[in-house]
Structures are given as structure tokens and as C-alpha cells.
Amino acid sequence: MEYVVELTIRAQRDLERIYEDINALDSQPARKWYLGLVAQIFSLESLPYRCAVTPENKKLRYLLYGYGHNTYRVIYRIVGVRVKVLHIRHGARKRFG
């Protein structure tokens, strides 16, 4: 079954901020990493249930992308055949409320 991935305005802002923070415009490795993040987000079209449930809210799931200090959490909710990406956070940040 194919799902439709939708990014909320907040998630879009998060992606824009990440792009700027890692200087993806001027760095080929940073741009490659960023495009990998975007590809992983949209890979949720095929298997959104593969990721774990968040400890903060059992209705939400999260996808981890990156390694070590460069890990990001993509927080999303599955609603019918839609995957709503709610927020993209650096992995070192405290749990959300």
C-alpha cells in the first residue's frame, strides 16, 4: 500500500533551517547529507510503520537519520493513507512535550 507523505508548515521550516545550518548551499557533502534526509522522509510512502513509536506520544512515530552528533528525529503521524511529518528535530534535543 502506498501512503502520501505530507510535510506540515513546521516541518518545512525545520528542513529549511537544517539546510541553512549545515550550509548545504556551499558544501557538496552537506548537500548530499540533506538530500539523503529528504529521501528518507519520502521513503515513508512505502513502509511508514517500520519506525518506532515515540516515547512522548504513542500516536506518533519517529524516523532517525544520521549518525552520532548528526542524528535527526523526524516525528510523524499516520492518518489513514497519509503520513503527516510534524517536526524534524536534532537528536540531541530534549524530548518534546
How many domains are there within the chain? 1
What is the rounded distance in angstroms from the CA atom of residue 80 to the CA atom of residue 56? 21
Concatenated DSSP letters of 22-52: TTTTT-HHHHHHHHHHHHHHHGGGT-GGGSE
CA 9 vs. chain centroid, Å, equals 13
Which CATH number characterizes residue 83's domain?
A: 3.30.2310.20
Q: Residue 53 belongs to what domain range?
A: 4-90
- Residue at 67 is within a domain: yes
- Residue at 97 is within a domain: no
- Residue at 43 is within a domain: yes
On whether the pTM is more than 0.95, the answer is no
Q: Write out the chain's pLDDT in tens, 97 residues.
A: 799 999 999 999 999 999 999 999 999 999 999 999 999 999 999 999 999 999 989 999 999 999 888 899 999 999 999 999 999 998 665 565 5
